[in-house]
Amino acid sequence: MGSLKSKRRSGCPVSISLESFGDRWSLLIIRDLMVRGYRTFKEFEESGEGIATNILANRLRRLAAAGIIVAEAEETDGRRVNYRLAEKGIDLAPVLLELLIWGARHEQTGAPCALIADLERNREQVLAEVRRRWRERDSTPFLPRFGE
């Protein structure tokens, strides 16, 4: 059970969740951390989504304040910051997987049909692999960037 950090619109868990991470930029940052192996401000900025730097900085701060991501100084250069999903963030893996499957099923996307079918068939294995990579700090991309 989470803590009450500010005045909520309602006590509905969906509404509260959306207040924490429900805008498109936050979800795309979470996606990039979870399955693309991105870790730095520059990688997010160059993700191809067209996020403005001020919006990116704001969303990274908000996600950190919500406990969804953590910012860590890079081991080799303490001036650089790497971002990582917190446990609260990796718990969103099933939500992101279902959004990916839903979007590919109902909209025209650049995701290959065979890949989506495989993800859909093997949900538990996919989620286990995403969690393993998170636990082991493996930043190898799990999913490719999808074409336009």
Domain parsing of the chain, residue ranges:
13-135
Question: What's residue 3's pLDDT?
Answer: 47
Q: For residue 22, what pLDDT is reported?
A: 75
pLDDT of residue 55: 95
Q: CB under 8 Å to 60, separation ≥6 — which residues?
A: 29, 41, 44, 69, 71, 83
Structure token pair of residue 82: 């790497």
Structure tokens at 87: 């446990």
pLDDT tens string for the chain (148 positions)? Answer: 444 456 777 888 888 888 887 788 999 999 999 999 899 999 999 988 899 999 999 999 999 999 999 999 988 887 889 999 999 999 999 999 999 999 988 888 888 888 899 999 999 999 999 999 999 999 999 887 776 4
Q: Specify the CATH architecture of the domain 13-135.
A: Orthogonal Bundle (1.10)
What is the reported pLDDT for 19?
83
